[in-house]
Amino acid sequence: MVIATNLGFPYVGPHRELKKLVESFWASKSSKSDLLAGARQLRENHWRVQKEQGIDQVPVGDFTLYDRVLDTACNFGVVPKRYHDIPDRLEQYFAMGRGLQKSATDTSPKIDVPAMEMKKWFDTNYHFIVPEFEQHQKFTLQEVSVVNDFIEAKALGFTPRPVVLGPVSFLYLGKAVKASEPFEPIALLDRLLPVYVDLLGRLSAAGAEWIQIDEPVLVLDLLDNLRLAYEVAYTTLRQANIKILLASYFGPLGTNVDLVKNHIDGLHVDLVRDPNQLDSICAALGPHQYISLGLVDGRNVWKNNLHKSIALAQSAVNILGTDRVFVAPSCSLIHSPYSTQLEKGIRDDNPELFEWLSFAVEKCAEISIITRAITSGQDFVREALERNALAVETRRTSSQTVNKEIRRRLDTISPNDYKRVSPFPTRREQQAAKLRLPSFPTTTIGSFPQTKEIRVARAKFAKGLISPQSYDTFIKSEIERVIRFQERAELDVLVHGEPERNDMVEHFGHLLHGYGFTEHGWVVSYGSRCVKPPLIYGDVSRRAPMTVTESAYSQSLTTRPVKGMLTGPVTMMKWSFVRDDVEPRVLCTQIALALRDEVVDLEAAGIAVIQVDEPAIREGLPLRRQDWAAYLEWSVGCFRLSTSGVRDDTQIHTHMCYSDFNDIFDAIQDLDADVITIENSKSEAKLLSIFEHKRYTNEIGPGLYDIHSPRVPSVEEMASRLEEMLRYIPKHLIWVNPDCGLKSRAWPEVEAALLNMVKVAKQFRTHEETVVA
């Protein structure tokens, strides 16, 4: 029998229940037992919903209170020493994720620990916590939630399938620390494997027949040491008395398929990213191995083309028979919003668009329909198939998706549109003369605290409970507050604080044609933080100027320069759910043109510094090197297209965060932004080490402190970071700034941190003057 399965479910809940539970616990408004009971209830609800949609085997272990990679580290005792003094396990866990600052009490000493590093999960907008491994790392199996969850789900009558992150991916995603000599974490595999064997044994003893082991590294270009590690790992793990389903996703296996022929009982493959790999995978499998067909797109929101998926499933069944096939989403559904059934707004305003959509709950139903079509015949699901075929066809032929004028404009773009008038040195002189900034100029990345008051005002305005005039007055007062604070703090290049924006992508989507929006389409981004990616379903163009009013107003309040603030074309695209009927480069070019018009309008309105954020450019880098050049050519091109319409004396900034940038250093240079502010504070200056070998010629502000933690950085720690940067970057190119926007922080932390940061810049200026004198 073909079996309907799932790889992971949106654990945050239909209404972000988990976020509320966790944040209430952090704010000491609820107890640990409230948190754990709420989490348990959510898990149970999710198993039930999946079963109701027809999923036979539900995943357990896909749930987390903060991050699954962090869970894996804690489960195996990989806790860096700086957290050892925190006695409570849960408090220690959250401290690793988000840092902890606590004053001393009569019974406990002061605690001040920063959060661990956070990085992008492959090519997604999800961030994981980077495990830290010491050279002589010891691994010990702790109490593991996946075992408890399995027992819990089984007792409730579900057929649970435990899911864990595999040993090769776990080590690969981590970093080596405190080593007397450099080592790669994968060298720790022999020490790690016994705890995995132990874990598999515990699951088997609890009655698990299958375990899903996620090894997403298998879709990367693997060096020989990792290939060898894979062999060693799975030769060892297969000794456990449990069937192993090895899950790869986000890309084709390519030649790595040779690795997975042995040692496992089943293989999950992402057939959305590459349906053509099916035949070669089936051919590579041994006579007893299963295939799990990743047919339903876990990374996008469009209804599945059930006709095509059933045909693919049928071809697998023709080769392997019905008893060795699972039907599944392409990857975990955590990257998908919860359910279209919550989206009454789209259903009423754009019923045609509504009919094209499928979120996690509906995707489970699609998996079940495909499975039943194979096991019971297509007649059994005829009605569902007919409805689906209609939706697929109306999307293909809809007049909502094409705008001929935009398509014509694309044809008029010339090579000069991708270039600034003069090279950077000339521009730099003109900008310096106009802006007259001190050395070590200070700035921030754009957003200031999105307070409860701002969110409530926005929610009320959306519901028509406050008038546009009152909302406008409120936003202006927020902008003025931010400007006045920055003046007081003596920052050099100011921002307006982004109070009018719910999110840097969703906000702009509302101002563009071709975008649709959900009310509840939350997807977790990191920890408890979620985003609501808009849906791009049609050709994109600007409705009207998008930011000129706020920027001009902000500039009118001060004599210091205020940065215009836009989200770049690649990020606008990557952080949205995108149409799949148009090439990414075409869609991105449409967005770039809309932004280019905005940049030019900002300049005309007297804005001398304009920032176009591109944090997603690195995350969009294809997972295989062979695809990098083509991607970088169009993505860098789109950034340049959006920013090159201005005069030489207009200073273009860009900003990037939460990624490994070394791979794309040349592309960053090629963006030709006058200034880049870039995350650096948590990666122990790894970013900067590249400057030992390569010269970055434009101005750069490597973030001085980590904004995603509530902890306030001291003057001394930021000064030592800046000192370190001076080893790599000439001082006349350096800017002083935090490593990302401040929207998720509270005002007291922001004020304290920025005042400290400005002190640091001033110290270095004085130091410089002293040296010159």
Ligand X SMILES: CN1c2c(nc(N)[nH]c2=O)NC[C@@H]1CNc1ccc(C(=O)N[C@@H](CCC(=O)N[C@@H](CCC(=O)N[C@@H](CCC(=O)O)C(=O)O)C(=O)O)C(=O)O)cc1
Ligand Y SMILES: N[C@@H](CCS)C(=O)O
Q: Return the range that interacts with Zn ion (CB under 5 A); candidates 71-79, 404-412, 536-544, 738-746.
A: 738-746
Among 63, 249, 448, 575, binds ligand X (CB under 6 A): 575
DSSP 8-state secondary structure symbol assigned to residue 676: E
Among 65, 369, 740, 758, binds ligand Y (CB under 6 A): 740
**Residue 452 makes contact with ligand X by CB under 6 A:** yes
Q: Provide the residue type at 627 as one letter.
A: D
Instruction: Write out 187-255 in H/E/C secondary structure.
Output: HHHHHHHHHHHHHHHHHHHCCCCEEEEECHHHHCCCCHHHHHHHHHHHHHHCCCCCEEEEECCCCCCHH
Angle between helices 68-75 and 145-155 (to 10 degrees): 110
| Other CB atoms within 10 Å distance of the CB of residue 748 | 11
Shortest distance, position 602 Cβ to ligand Y, whole Å = 14
SS3 477: helix
Residues 221 and 630: their CA atoms lie apart, in Å, by 17
**Residue 374 makes contact with ligand Y by CB under 6 A:** no
- How many residues bind to ligand X according to rule CB under 6 A? 23
Tell me whether residue 567 or residue 756 sits nearer to ligand X (CB atom).
Answer: 567
Among 48, 409, 434, 529, binds ligand X (CB under 6 A): 529
Nearest partner of 572 among 525, 518, 635, judged by Cα: 635
The binding track of 614-653 with respect to ligand Y, each residue x by CB under 6 A or -, is -x--------------------------------------
Q: Return the range that interacts with ligand Y (CB under 6 A); candidates 6-14, 441-449, 513-521, 696-704.
A: 441-449
Residues 16 and 114: their CA atoms lie apart, in Å, by 26
The binding track of 467-506 with respect to ligand X, each residue x by CB under 6 A or -, is -----------------------------------xxxx-
Helices (H), 662-731: 665-671, 686-689, 715-725
Tell me whether residue 125 or residue 292 sits nearer to ligand X (CB atom).
Answer: 125
DSSP 380-420: GGHHHHHHHHHHHHHHHH-GGG--HHHHHHHHT--GGGGS-
Q: Return the range that interacts with ligand X (CB under 6 A); candidates 98-106, 137-145, 480-488, 736-744.
A: 736-744
498 is in an annotated binding site: yes
Q: What are phi and psi of 270, to 5 degrees?
A: -85, 100
**Residue 740 makes contact with Zn ion by CB under 5 A:** yes
Cβ proximity of 187 and 236 under 8 Å: no
Instruction: Write out 530-582 in H/E/C secondary structure.
Output: EECCCEEEEEEEECCCCCHHHHHHHHHCCCCCEEEEEECHHHHHHCCECCCCC
Known catalytic residue at 708:
yes
52 is in an annotated binding site: no
| Count of H-run helices and E-run strands, the chain | 27, 23
**Residue 358 makes contact with ligand X by CB under 6 A:** no
**Residue 616 makes contact with Zn ion by CB under 5 A:** no
422 is in an annotated binding site: no
Task: Report the partner that residue 125 touches, choosing among ligand X, Zn ion, ligand Y, none (CB closer than 5 to 8 A by kind).
Answer: ligand X
Task: Tell me the CB-side half-sphere exposure of residue 188, using CA atoms within 13 A.
Answer: 30
Tell me whether residue 233 or residue 657 sits nearer to Zn ion (CB atom).
Answer: 657
Cβ proximity of 649 and 434 under 8 Å: yes
- Specify the residue for token string 């790599």: 728
416 is in an annotated binding site: no
447 is in an annotated binding site: yes
Q: Return the range that interacts with ligand Y (CB under 6 A); candidates 77-85, 510-518, 669-677, 735-743.
A: 735-743
Shortest distance, position 525 Cβ to ligand X, whole Å = 4
Among 446, 561, 568, 569, binds ligand Y (CB under 6 A): 446
670 is in an annotated binding site: yes
Cβ proximity of 95 and 114 under 8 Å: no
**Residue 565 makes contact with ligand Y by CB under 6 A:** yes
657 is in an annotated binding site: yes
**CA pseudo-torsion sign 440, 608, 738, 482:** positive
- How many residues bind to Zn ion according to rule CB under 5 A? 3
**Residue 657 makes contact with ligand Y by CB under 6 A:** yes
**Residue 504 makes contact with ligand Y by CB under 6 A:** yes
Residues 570 and 619: their CA atoms lie apart, in Å, by 10
Shortest distance, position 565 Cβ to ligand Y, whole Å = 6
Tell me whether residue 520 or residue 542 sits nearer to ligand X (CB atom).
Answer: 520
**Residue 699 makes contact with ligand Y by CB under 6 A:** no
DSSP 8-state secondary structure symbol assigned to residue 437: P
Among 57, 125, 371, 518, binds ligand X (CB under 6 A): 125
Residues 260 and 216: their CA atoms lie apart, in Å, by 13
662 is in an annotated binding site: no
Among 350, 525, 558, 697, binds ligand X (CB under 6 A): 525
Among 657, 704, 722, 725, binds Zn ion (CB under 5 A): 657
Among 309, 401, 447, 554, binds ligand Y (CB under 6 A): 447
Shortest distance, position 495 Cβ to ligand Y, whole Å = 7
Catalytic choice (288, 510, 708, 767): 708
CA triple 417-420-422, angle to 5 deg: 140
Nearest partner of 715 among 760, 762, 680, judged by Cα: 760
SS3 322: helix
Q: Which residues are identified as catalytic?
A: 708
Residue ranges at the known binding site: 19, 125, 445-447, 498, 529-530, 575, 613, 655, 657, 670, 679, 740
Contact positions vs ligand Y (CB under 6 A): 445-447, 504, 565, 613, 615, 655, 657, 740-741, 743
Contact positions vs ligand X (CB under 6 A): 19, 125, 450, 452, 455-456, 458-459, 502-505, 525, 529-532, 575, 615, 658, 740, 743-744
